[in-house]
């Protein structure tokens, strides 16, 4: 088994109001069950971060990646499975009906669009993900403010 961390690409999807899309992971998920999350997942062999980002957006929401607005940051964490992951997160815009995401069946159960003053809801699952999603959201909104969007 490789000692290299697993690579993950994640999208903080923006809407026209400057809110970010979050989805609830299903209770049957091995990693971070019943917790709020952003769109994303592991890179497949030979895939670039950008290719994985586009694929994950389509698989998890039915939307199409339109634009990578900015890089939010790089994050390293170890899941409950003991595997270390290196995640790169981006603010993105997508094409599609933002009021009707097609959640990946069996993997996600709900979704919400949150503005910078609505992040307390993410604390509901902080005990599962060590507050990582709240931190990603805060970092994403900080990048958005810096871009003056």
Domain ranges of the chain: 6-147
Structure-model confidence comparison of residues 46 and 31, the more confident one: 46
Residue 131 above 70 pLDDT?
A: yes
- pLDDT, residue 130, reads 82
Whether the pLDDT of residue 126 is over 80: the answer is no
CB-based burial, 135-148: b 16+ in 10 Å, e otherwise? bbbebbbebbeeee
For residues 12 and 19, what is the distance between their CA atoms, to the nearest angstrom? Answer: 9
Kindly state the percentage of the chain with pLDDT values over 90.
Answer: 79
| Residue 141 to residue 134: CA distance in whole angstroms | 11
The CATH number of the structural domain formed by 6-147 is 3.90.79.10
Higher-pLDDT residue of 75 and 126 is 75
Per DSSP (E only), the strands in the chain are 6-13, 20-25, 36-37, 39-42, 64-78, 84-95, 108-114
Task: Determine the Cα–Cα distance for residues 100 and 61; give it in Å rounded to an integer.
Answer: 9
Closest CA to 131 of 13, 19, 32: 32
Gap between the Cα atoms of 91 and 133, Å rounded = 14
CA distance 55 to 5: 20
Distance CA 10, CA 56 (A): 8
Which whole number is the average pLDDT over 17-22? 97
pLDDT at 119 over 70: yes
Confidence category of residue 26, pLDDT binned at 50, 70, 90: very high
What's residue 4's pLDDT?
77
Structure tokens at 140: 């994403």
């Amino acid at each position: 088994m490789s000692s290299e961390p697993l690579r993950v690409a994640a999208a903080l999807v923006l809407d026209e109001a400057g809110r970010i899309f979050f989805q609830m992971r299903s209770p049957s998920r091995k990693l971070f069950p019943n917790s709020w999350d952003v769109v994303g997942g592991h890179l497949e062999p030979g895939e670039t971060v950008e290719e994985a980002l586009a694929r994950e957006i389509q698989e998890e929401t039915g939307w199409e990646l339109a634009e990578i607005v900015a890089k939010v940051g790089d994050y390293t964490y170890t899941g409950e499975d003991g595997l270390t992951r290196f995640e790169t997160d981006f603010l993105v815009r997508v094409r599609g009906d933002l009021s009707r995401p097609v959640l990946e069946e069996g993997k996600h159960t709900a979704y919400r669009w949150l503005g910078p003053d609505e992040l307390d809801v993410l604390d509901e699952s902080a005990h599962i993900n060590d507050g990582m999603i709240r931190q990603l959201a805060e970092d994403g909104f900080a990048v958005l403010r810096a871009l003056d969007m």
